[in-house]
Amino acid sequence: MGRAAGAVALGAVLGGVQPSPVDAQVVMGSVLESNSSAPLAGVLVSLLDVSGERVRATLSDDTGRFYLDVGRFGRYSLRAERIGGRF
């Protein structure tokens, strides 16, 4: 499939300032079209560990929002994908 038209702005916030072994970490944010800032629904947002393996994934809702329960403290990156291409 071809690359999706337009670019995406992916914003995220890591919840929980001082992690402890019993506290779950949360990543939440919005997926927006970079030119218009319109929310993008149905985008697969994946949380990747330092080796690039998917730890968690979710779809953005109708307002472009997503929420991922990380489960453990660590260093992660995000990847946004949609039918038609990766952003």
Place of tokens 């300032």: 17
Give the model's pLDDT for residue 78: 93
% of the chain with per-residue pLDDT over 70: 68
Please tell me the distance from the alpha carbon of residue 30 to that of residue 46, in angstroms, as a whole number.
13
pTM for the structure as a whole: 0.71
How crowded is residue 78: how many other Cβ atoms within 10 Å of its Cβ? 16
Q: What confidence tens digit (pLDDT) does each residue in 40-71 have?
A: 999 999 999 999 999 999 999 999 999 999 87
3-state secondary structure of 29: strand
Q: Counting beta carbons within 10 angstroms of the beta carbon of residue 51, is it exposed (0 to 12), middle (13 to 18) or buried (19 or more)? A: exposed
Is the predicted pLDDT of residue 4 greater than 90, yes or no? no
Single out the residue of 29, 9, 24 nearest to residue 70, CA to CA: 24
**Least confident residue range of 13-17, 40-44, 56-60, 83-87:** 13-17
